[in-house]
Structure 1
Amino acid sequence: MRRGLRHLALATGLLAALAACETSSLAPRETGVPPHARPDALAPEPEMPEPPQKRSLASRDLETYYARIQNDLLAQGLLRTDGGGPDTPFTDTMLLRNFERIALAEEYERGAGLRPSRGELGYIKKWTKPIRVAVEFGELVPLDQRVQDRNMVVQYVNRLAGITGHPMSVTSGDANFHVLFMSEDDKAQIAPRIRTLVPDVNPSALDIFKRLPRSIHCLVMAFSERPGGYAYGDAIAVIRSEHPDLLRRSCVHEEIAQGLGLGNDSPNARPSIFNDDDEFALLTTHDEMLLRLLYDPAVRAGMDAEQVRPIVRARAATLMGGES
């Protein structure tokens, strides 16, 4: 402020001097002498950019914590990225069993926050309308990481569209599936953003995002198009930006796939990312088959186990190389 006032005073003085010269008979009206450049001291100072925000100690501690978790898992031979192999065989019967546990049961009770469900088989949940995915970032996510993560989501969404045959794309416009990469420092923005995206969100669901414990690396919530329905209309995935690359990619793979309707985990599913043992980091061949089963045109949102079982049994046999 003080520097600005001084510049204003100097400019006013120059204008007064020029006015005096114009009325003097000693000063020529025209001259061939080029004017001197304006002194540097009189040039307006360039606007200084806002100092970049600094990540909090809590965010940096989380980054160290998750890096240690990834290193520990890798040292144990976990977080595999090979999609399964000869050491992880499965049959069509196992595929059907895993489909029922992962697609028909729910990990948490509906409308009850993070309260685990009792594991009963429910109803098929899936998208029936095109999925338009938007990618958003918290303010302190580094720019190079944003580019990397957005490209990762684009590639994965294209892959899922090919697997399911369902229309899916990443968009910068109107979206119904939002992937939010947020840091600990962005936590206060998450709940208001979700309320903007889904105005009628259940308060208990919103509370999850307000007090997200560090034991939850990432999560997704899918919302039915109609109250009490089973066809999805919106979904929001939140992924911690403090994760190292592989854990962050693992979160993207699992949460977007779960947001398509594979909402549960099973300790018997192998090779699969829908298993809390962290053996696999990325979508496996087994998981691709689960998605193909879920998005078979004969499998409809709202079907129960008795209705869907014969369809999935025949389709699973075909996928495994048998006869339908």
Structure 2
Amino acid sequence: MASLFAVSPLLASVTPASNSALAETPNLAPKPIRDWKDPAYIIQAFDEIALKNEYDKVKHRVRKWRQPVRVFVEHQVGDTGLHTQLVQMHLSHLAQITGHSIAKVDSLEEANLHLVFTRQSQWADVVMRLMGASAASNIHGSVCMGKFVLNSKNEIERAWVVIPVDQAQMHGKLVACVVEEITQVLGLPNDSVKVFPSIFNDKTPQDLLTGLDYILLKLLYSADIHAGMTAAEVQPILQKQLEQWQRDGTLTQADKAVRQGQLYPLLGY
């Protein structure tokens, strides 16, 4: 459902809302080979979602924010109260899960994450202006889009999210766009049908974070995981952390814990 580009000092990375979301097909998602709480399954999911991009075959290093994330919301359409509420609820949830400082600000000058609610007739122009031609070339088949920029240490320095509200609503994906795009620009940029259940799997109906997504975020923002780490460097750290969470019940309680976010009762969960 989302399109995302991640960019290094010389690169950009964008992840569009994937094409499958447009089809709104019934839930035909394959069941995972094993229970998602299996540490080996979670490590595989982390590799898929954190270390890959949607539009290239390269194995990337870990990408995450070190500086506080400050979000400015630009409204080019109505319903500003509703849209602000959805964003604020999700930002609060992400801050709670990751332990990272994430907050909305009142001016673009203060922000390093610029989120635009626009309309379908303007979204190509907005994407071109904020994200550039490479991102604009991928809007066909996407519902919404995000992009982040990296420094030389693979730390995320700036990000953009563009949501054409009328288009997202037409596909029943407004909340999903808010949740998925903001989450992806924290450093989980890939979509994959190999990861289930997850908002990063466009074959599943999830609009909100799942227990697996909760664990992937907690892993990414663990103090022992640093931007720039390779898959080989990060795997033993993931293994050790997951074994601890297996013992202390964090994995078992993840599905329940993730539903403490404010969006869940709002959507009837």
Sort the TM-score into its range (normalised by shorter chain).
0.7 to 0.9
Q: 1:128 aligns with which of 52, 56, 66?
A: 66
1:207-246 mapped onto 2 (5 Å cutoff): 207-211=133-137, 213-224=139-150, 226=151, 228-242=152-166, 243-244=168-169, 246=172
1:51-66 mapped onto 2 (5 Å cutoff): none
User: How far apart, CA to CA, are the structure 2 residues paired with 1:314 and 1:211?
Assistant: 41
User: How far apart, CA to CA, are the structure 2 residues paired with 1:309 and 1:99?
Assistant: 9
> Given the alignment of the two structures, is residue 101 of structure 1 paired with residue 26 of structure 2, yes or no?
no
Q: Which amino acid aligns with 1:98?
A: A
The TM-score with structure 1 as length reference comes to 0.63
Name the counterpart of 2:118: 182
Q: 2:190 aligns with which of 264, 267, 280?
A: 264
User: How far apart, CA to CA, are the structure 1 residues paired with 2:91 and 2:217?
Assistant: 13
Contact 2:128 2:136 in 1 (8 A): no
Q: Which amino acid aligns with 2:192?
A: S
Name the counterpart of 2:9: none
Q: Give unpaired runs (5+ residues) of structure 2.
A: 1-20, 250-269
Contact 1:190 1:209 in 2 (8 A): no
> Given the alignment of the two structures, is residue 157 of structure 1 paired with residue 91 of structure 2, yes or no?
yes
Name the counterpart of 1:291: 217
Contact 2:197 2:204 in 1 (8 A): no
Other structure's SS at 2:158 match: strand
User: How far apart, CA to CA, are the structure 2 residues paired with 1:158 and 1:251?
Assistant: 16
Shift of 1:230: 0.6
Q: 2:204 aligns with which of 275, 278, 281?
A: 278
Q: Which amino acid aligns with 1:187?
A: W
Identity between Structure 1 and Structure 2 (%): 29
User: How far apart, CA to CA, are the structure 2 residues paired with 1:221 and 1:105?
Assistant: 14
1:109-128 mapped onto 2 (5 Å cutoff): 116-118=55-57, 120-128=58-66
Q: Which amino acid aligns with 1:244?
A: Q
State how many pairs are aligned.
Answer: 224
1:61-80 mapped onto 2 (5 Å cutoff): 72-73=24-25, 76-77=26-27
Change (3 A) 1:77 1:220: same
Name the counterpart of 2:103: 169
Higher CA-based Rg? 1
Change (3 A) 1:213 1:124: closer
Shift of 1:317: 2.1
Contact 1:105 1:122 in 2 (8 A): yes
Between structures 1 and 2, the one with greater strand share: 2
Q: Give unpaired runs (5+ residues) of structure 1.
A: 1-67, 80-86, 108-115, 195-204
Shift of 1:213: 3.7
The TM-score with structure 2 as length reference comes to 0.75
Shift of 1:158: 0.4
Other structure's SS at 1:321 match: helix
Change (3 A) 1:124 1:210: closer
Contact 1:219 1:238 in 2 (8 A): yes
Shift of 1:236: 0.1
Deviations 1:102-147 (A, max 9, x none): 111222xxxxxxxx211x4220000000000111122xx22xx221
Shift of 1:209: 4.9
Shift of 1:212: 5.5
User: How far apart, CA to CA, are the structure 1 residues paired with 2:215 and 2:202?
Assistant: 19
Q: Which amino acid aligns with 1:233?
A: E
Contact 2:62 2:227 in 1 (8 A): yes
Shift of 1:77: 4.9
Shift of 1:207: 1.1
